[in-house]
Structure 1
Amino acid sequence: MPLHSFGNNTQSAIYKKSLEIFSLASSISRYLSHDLAHLQRNGMEDPHIYYTGDIVQQSVSLGPQILKAESQPFSEEKQKHAASVMRLSNLLYKNCKRLERVNSNGKDFLPLLQKELKKFRKLQHTWRLTL
C-alpha cells in the first residue's frame, strides 16, 4: 500500500512515526518472507511466515486509526480509536518478538523496528493525553 493512501495529515508526530514504522515493517516483511517461503524438509511451510504478513497489516492500520482519532469531534470516539492504535502497536511488538525465532538473517533488522516501536509508544502516551 502506498504511503500517500494514509492521507495528507503530516503535521502529527505520531502519524509521521506510523509511516516510518509501516515502511520499516514492510521492508523487513519482504526480506523475511523471501527466506521463509521455502517448504521445510517435512513438506510443511514455516509457520512464522504468517507473522510477516501480520506486521505489515498491523503497521498499515496504525495511520488510519490515528487519523480517525484526530478527526473525531467527541472524546469518547477519539479514545476508542486511540485504544485501537495501542492494541495494534502491542500486537506489532509481540509479532516482532515471535519473528526473532525465525531462521533468517532478516531477523537482525527486528531490533530496529522494536526500537522505533518504543519511540512510537512514548509518542502515543503524550498523544493520548492531548486527544
Structure 2
Amino acid sequence: MNYNLPSHLKDLPVYQKAMDIIVLSRSISTYLNQDLVYLNTDGSEDAYIYFTGDIIQQSTNLAPEIINAERERYSDKKHQHLETLDRLTHRLYNNCKRLEHSKSNGKDFLPILRGELRKFRKLQRNWMLTL
C-alpha cells in the first residue's frame, strides 16, 4: 500500500501497528471465509460472513486516517480524523467479538487480533497526545 507517506510516518509505532492489523485481519478473514461460505441446511447463508468483510474494510481504513490526521493543519479537522479512527477501532473490536460466536475453526485467531487492537489503542492514545 502506497499512500504517499511523509517520511516520518513510517517510523510511527501507531502506523506500523495499523499495518500489522491490516495483514492480520486479512489473513483471519480469508481463513474464516473458507468455513462460512457454505450454505446452511435450510439454504440460507451464514450471517457471520459479512463481519469478515467488515473487519477487512475497517482495518484497511485505519492507516489512511492516521495519515490524514498527521497531514491536517487545523485542529478541528485533525480531531475529526481522530474520532473516525476511534470509531473504526471500536467497530473492529466489536466485530471481532461477534465473529468469535461463528461456527468456524478460525475464530480461535480472533483473540490475537483483539489483543493487537488493544495494543493499537494504547499506541493511539499516546500518539493523539503528540498531535
TM-score range, shorter chain: over 0.9
Query: Normalising to structure 1: TM-score of the pair?
Result: 0.95
* CA–CA separation in structure 1 for the residues paired with 2:75 and 2:11: 20
> CA distance change for structure 1 residues 123 and 54 in 2, over 3 Å: closer, same or farther?
same
Counterpart amino acid of 2:126? T
Question: Are residue 62 (structure 1) and residue 49 (structure 2) matched?
Answer: no
- Secondary structure of residue in 1 paired with 2:70: helix
Superposition pairs of residues 91-130 of structure 1, within 5 angstroms: 91-130=91-130
> CA distance change for structure 1 residues 96 and 30 in 2, over 3 Å: closer, same or farther?
same
Q: Sequence identity, in percent?
A: 49
- Secondary structure of residue in 2 paired with 1:5: coil
RMSD: 0.9
Note the alpha carbon deviations across 1:34-75, whole angstroms, 9 max, x for none.
110000000000000000000000000000000000000111
* Residue of structure 2 equivalent to 1:5: 2
* CA–CA separation in structure 2 for the residues paired with 1:88 and 1:32: 21
* CA–CA separation in structure 2 for the residues paired with 1:66 and 1:23: 17
Shift of 1:113: 0.2
Superposition pairs of residues 21-100 of structure 1, within 5 angstroms: 21-100=21-100
Q: How many residues align?
A: 128
- Structure 1, unpaired ranges of 5+: none
Query: Normalising to structure 2: TM-score of the pair?
Result: 0.95
Q: Choose 108-117 or 71-80, whichever is displaced more.
A: 71-80
Counterpart amino acid of 1:5? N
Shift of 1:7: 4.0
- Structure 2, unpaired ranges of 5+: none
